[in-house]
Amino acid sequence: MSSDDVVSELMHLGLNRSEARAYKVLASVGQSTARAVADSSGVPRSKVYEVLYSLEQRGLVRRAVGTSPTEFRAYEPRNAIPYLIEKLQNSGKSVLAELESLAMQKKAASEEFVWTEAGSDQIKLGTREAIARATKEVFIATRDPGLLSSLRPALADAKKRGVEIKLVSGGLSDQNLEEFKHYATIVDVTELSSRVLIDQLQKVLADETIETAGWDPNQISMVLIDNSESVAVFKPLQDSARPWCLHVRSPLIAIFQRQVIVALLGAVERLLSGK
């Protein structure tokens, strides 16, 4: 991990950039003056005491006794970082409890039936929420191992609730297969996911406007919840573009989407068997 990566990860734990740089320096040298920290970290000397006092309040550094000028010492990362994570988790739990309380106070919640999301993080969170609503079955059809990995916690929780998980996929690594077989019934279509499956899929999605709009027709994933809700994830042809997904709460549409997938697999199987 590079120096910039360390600073970035510390910022994810709630430190600002100056605090992250200063703590990284102190964690590396153990004890130092504010001036030396400023010179090594790039934090302006006019700001460095403010930054170090802030780290002290966070419980990450302390002032060394009997030093002049004052020196600061970092608490050991193996103790300080778990403490920082614990504080972050506690804050998150408090905020969650308050927001859930506010949500329960809503007098008339307007339920959405169709909505979209763009961006990997938004899709991951939205799809996890959909899986959390499952009571009977989650049916997933995808060739994207990255999507599956992002849904792993939600799928594991669903399995614990007694929800049946069915996965139709191809091209998964042995590690992925080993991991997901513990809580999902897997239909591995690796042998079908080459030219034959692509040709059949393109017949189903034979609308040139899909590619014209910038979406890859061979990288469409489908997550169906209890045959009543669906999440269709579309990956862009250009890496610079953001993925996009469509949520629909409609039993009719969810059942239709599932039947298309089942019919597609059946057509491929008949083609390969020569029937």
Pick the CATH number of 3-82 from 1.10.10.10, 3.30.420.40, 1.10.357.10, 3.40.50.1100: 1.10.10.10
Residue 37 has pLDDT above 80, yes or no: yes
pTM value > 0.85: no
Q: Distance between CA atoms of 252 and 179, rounded to whole angstroms?
A: 32
Write the CB contacts of 16 (distance below 8 Å, at least 6 apart in sequence).
Answer: none
Note whether 3 and 17 are within 8 A (CB).
Answer: no
Q: What is the mean pLDDT of the chain?
A: 80
The predicted structure's pLDDT at residue 194: 44
Strand stretches in the chain, DSSP E:
31-33, 61-63, 71-74, 114-118, 137-142, 164-169, 185-188, 215-225, 229-236, 244-249
User: Does 212 or 82 have the greater pLDDT score?
Assistant: 82
pLDDT in tens, 55-94: 998 888 988 888 888 899 888 888 888 888 988 888 888 8
The predicted structure's pLDDT at residue 166: 87
pLDDT in tens, 138-170: 998 887 888 888 898 999 999 999 999 988 876
User: Does 86 or 171 have the greater pLDDT score?
Assistant: 86
Domain 114-273 belongs to what architecture?
A: 2-Layer Sandwich (3.30)
The predicted structure's pLDDT at residue 162: 93
The predicted structure's pLDDT at residue 200: 52
Residues making up the chain, counted from first to last: 275
Note whether 236 and 213 are within 8 A (CB).
Answer: no
Please, which pLDDT band fits residue 38 given cuts at 50, 70 and 90? very high
Bridge partners (DSSP) listed for residue 32: 72
Query: Region 17-46: what's the mean pLDDT?
Result: 90
* Amino acid at site 228: S
User: Does 135 or 266 have the greater pLDDT score?
Assistant: 135
Residue 196 has pLDDT above 70, yes or no: no
Residue (of 220, 248, 227, 256) closest to 134 by Cα position: 227
Bridge partners (DSSP) listed for residue 118: 244
Q: Distance between CA atoms of 117 and 126, rounded to whole angstroms?
A: 8
Q: What is the CA radius of gyration of the chain?
A: 26
Structural tokens at position 67 = 């030093």
Strand order in the sheet with 71-74: 31-33, 71-74, 61-63
Residue 203 has pLDDT above 70, yes or no: no
Cα 171 to chain centroid, rounded: 21
Domain ranges across the chain:
3-82, 114-273
The predicted structure's pLDDT at residue 209: 55
Q: Are strands 244-249 and 114-118 parallel, antiparallel or unpaired?
A: antiparallel
pLDDT in tens, 92-132: 888 888 887 776 666 545 567 888 888 888 999 899 999 99
